[in-house]
Structure formats: structure tokens, C-alpha cells
Amino acid sequence: MESNLIESPFFSILKEYLKENKLRCTPERFKILNMIYSIEGSFDIDTLLKYMEEKKFRVSRATIYNTITLLINANLVTHHIFGNKSRYEKSLNNEKSHLICTKCARVTEITTPNLRETITSDIKKFHLTHYSLYIYGVCSKCHQAARRRRQRKK
């Protein structure tokens, strides 16, 4: 394994979590974690599988699901449910928020770097590790479509 990977904070968190829960330190778990942390934004299982295959790292869907569950429990991965679809995302140092259209369920990821300061300024006696923000509304496409429909009715 690459030496810079071993020094990564997410790597040591997983190592610690596996040790605490008496779970095995398999190379698959670390490779999947490393792949997840190289992905910007949210992804689904199929996309993760595709990326793993591109890196010539064959892993079963069952292993991916099991590892993702483990990483969620270790607070290294966030599970999102957008509409009826599951998506996953790295949680460490991830300052992304999600704009969700209530009409077409389209999800747009936005970076909100100043949000952490805003949140922490009001939080007392609580150590924040990560956060996830969902902002609901209507996307510009759906908004325009609704306006066109209203105009036709006139």
C-alpha cells in the first residue's frame, strides 16, 4: 500500500474502528475506502463498482455493500437518500450541501465552506465531526416549466 495512504486521517480512523470492534483489517476495506475518498461528490454503488473495475480491482457487490455499511458505522461515509435512490459520500472534510428539487428530484451539490463556522458558532458542548445539509426547493428547469404552463393557461 502507498505510504501517503497510510498517513491519511481516514485510514487511521478505519484502522482504529476495526481494532475497537475486533474486525479484520482486510486490504479490500482500505482499498474501497481509498477509492471513496478519491471521488468528489456523491455516488451510487454501480459507479463505485465501475471505478473499482477501472482500477483493475475486482470486488463483489456484496463486499462493497458490507464495507459501505461498516464505513457508515465508522462515520467515514454518509448515506443519502435522494427521492428513492441511495447515494453515498465521504464524510470527512466534506463541506458539500445538496440542493434537492421537489419536482424532479434532481440533486445539485454545492460547496458551502463558511457553513462550518456558522454551525459551530452556535454549538456548545458538542464536538462536530461532519454534517450534511439538504436544501429543498424547485430547480430552474422545473420553475421555468411551471411558468410556461401558467402562461399557456392565460
**Binding site residues, Zn ion, CB under 5 A:** 101, 103-104, 106, 139, 142
Q: How far is the CB of 147 from Zn ion (least distance, A)?
A: 13
Min dist CB 53 to Zn ion, Å, is 32
Q: Per residue in 88-119, is it b (16+ CB within 10 Å) or e — as a string?
A: bbbbeebebbbebbeeeeebeeeeeeeeeeee
Between 1 and 104, name the residue whose CB sits nearer to Zn ion: 104
From the CB of 8, what's the least distance to Zn ion, in Å?
A: 37
Q: Which is nearer to Zn ion, 45 or 138 (CB)?
A: 138
Grid coordinates of 139: 430547480
Nearer to Zn ion, 36 or 139 (CB): 139
Least CB distance to Zn ion at residue 140 (A): 8
Distance from C-alpha of 74 to C-alpha of 70, rounded to nearest angstrom: 6
Distance CA 120, CA 137 (A): 25
Q: In angstroms, rounded to a whole number, what is the distance separating the alpha carbons of residues 70 and 67?
A: 5
Q: Which is nearer to Zn ion, 3 or 140 (CB)?
A: 140
